[in-house]
Structure 1
Amino acid sequence: MKKILIPILVCCGLFSNAQSRPSTGAAVGVAAAATAVTFLAANAAKKEVAKQISQFRSKEYIINQIIGDAGNREIKFETESLASDDSGGLISVAFNCDEVNERGLLLAFFGENRDSNGNLGNAYAFRYLPLEEAQNVLLRLEKVREENSKYLSESSNVNNVYVQHQDIKFVFYRDFGNQIRVFWNGFEVIWEQTAFDRTKRRLNKWFK
């Protein structure tokens, strides 16, 4: 009888371990959702993903995180893609919803990040700035660039200027032109001058 029990117990142990493995994946998914970072398939085409983020995923974030539960209401809102980079970086989207009195700038960070296991992969996440705050941040960044233009141009990729807004960190430098490297929530992306200028100009024009 003992000889029969031993293999049965071994088999039960293996089956139990096999069933417990999916829970690890579920825990990773919960962690990713908690940090508001969405990881992409390794073979995802960046150009197509950038389009999806600016046109569709941004709306998903807006209705879930900014507008909230609609209940029985029909809520109207407007979005406008301001600037994007097909190869990754910062994607900017203007947003307005009179019915919940919310309007501002949605920054989509699109680039490499680390998951809860420490693995590096392409991902995206959104950071929302209400309109007045967004305009003040963009104006401040423009002034920092202008006031430190001489210092930055003296030595490309050597001289840097660092400023911070809440949990977003910005490093100004020159590398074949003015660049802003932006750090937030595990992302490190480049905000090119053309995309930055377009974001600032079009945001102000859209809300005139």
Structure 2
Amino acid sequence: MNVKILVLGLMISTVSFSQVSVSDGGFYFAKEYSKDVALYKAKEFVMEKVIGGGGSLVKFSIDPLAASTSGELTSLVYGCDEKNLSGLVLGFYGDQWTKLGVAYQAYAFKNLPDEKALEILSKLDSYIDKESKYLAADSDNNNMYFTYDDMTFLIYRFGSVKVRVFWNGFDSEWDWGSFYRTKKRLERKLKN
């Protein structure tokens, strides 16, 4: 009898202290993250935070471009002709901690209007191209970084080029293939 009460008490306390308010920090929670999940949640983000309200029907498009192999970063492009808005949304996924030190899986979105998105992607591509010898000279030991707005980009080489993006408590890895696909697909989308 005492064992049952003890187990029940432990289960209740674990559930009680591991729950976090969805509104706490503006994060959304997920057990798994993929391009499909990113697309599903990014629609709400673009609709509410980027385009904004409207009393009439508003049409917009959103397309997932690439997800990093780590699953920590997904890029999506959006467009709304009626409001003359287009750009790139970066979907971040990873571990976060509450003020009490409880870990949870969270994701959040960063909006980059098309001019900013192209500028960031061009800077990254340029730095990687210009400093390829430096990065290759001592793999995983030679690093470089720069800050753009509230994001920091760490560039290094471990097998292939890697870009870690630090933003709002997230530390997400963007592998070269996903970065390159994002850049090319965004440029193609914005030309149309």
TM over 0.5: yes
| Percent identity of equivalent pairs | 36
Residue 121 of structure 2 aligns with which residue?
A: 138
Letter aligned with residue 51 of structure 1? K
TM-score (normalised: structure 1): 0.78
Give the 4+ runs in structure 1 shifted more than 3 A.
Answer: none
Q: Tell me which residue corresponds to 2:184.
A: 201
Q: Does 1:39 align with 2:23?
A: no
Tell whether 2:170 aligns with 1:187.
yes
Give 5+ residue unaligned stretches, structure 1.
Answer: 1-21
Deviations 1:12-58 (A, max 9, x none): xxxxxxxxxx8x999x52xx535322233xxx2x3xx3134332100
Alignment partner, residue 113 of structure 1: 96
Work out whether 1:150 is the aligned partner of 2:110.
no
Is residue 69 of structure 2 the alignment partner of residue 97 of structure 1? Answer: no
Contact 1:36 1:126 in 2 (8 A): no
Aligned residues of 1:50 and 1:85 also touching (Cα < 8 A): no
Q: Structure 2: how far apart are the matches of 1:115 and 1:122? A: 11
Q: Which has the higher helix share?
A: 1
One-letter amino acid of the structure 1 residue matched with residue 53 of structure 2: D
CA contact 2:35–2:66 (8 Å) conserved in 1: no
SS in 2 for 1:196: helix
User: Counterparts of 2:70 and 2:107 in 1: how far apart (Å)?
Assistant: 13
Q: Which amino acid aligns with 1:166?
A: D
How many residues align? The count is 176
Q: Output the CA distance in 2 between the equivalents of 1:98 and 1:165.
A: 27
| 1:102 Cα offset (Å) | 1.2
List aligned pairs for 1:116-127, cutoff 5 A: 116-127=99-110
**TM-score of the superposition, structure 2-length normalised?**
0.84
| Residues 77-135 of structure 1 deviation map (CA, whole Å, 9 limit, x = unaligned) | 01111001364221000000011221100000112222333222221100000001100
Counterpart pick for 2:58 among 52, 64, 75: 75
Does the CA-based 8 Å contact 1:109-1:124 persist in structure 2?
A: yes
Take 1:51 and 1:83, find their aligned partners in 2: how far apart are those partners? 7
Residue of structure 2 equivalent to 1:4: none
1:10 is matched with which residue? none
Corresponding residue to 1:55 among 25, 33, 39:
39
Structure number with greater Rg is 1
Residue aligned with 2:119, SS:
helix
Q: Deviations along 1:135-190, whole A, 9 cap, x unmatched? A: 01100010111111111111111110011101100111111111011111111110
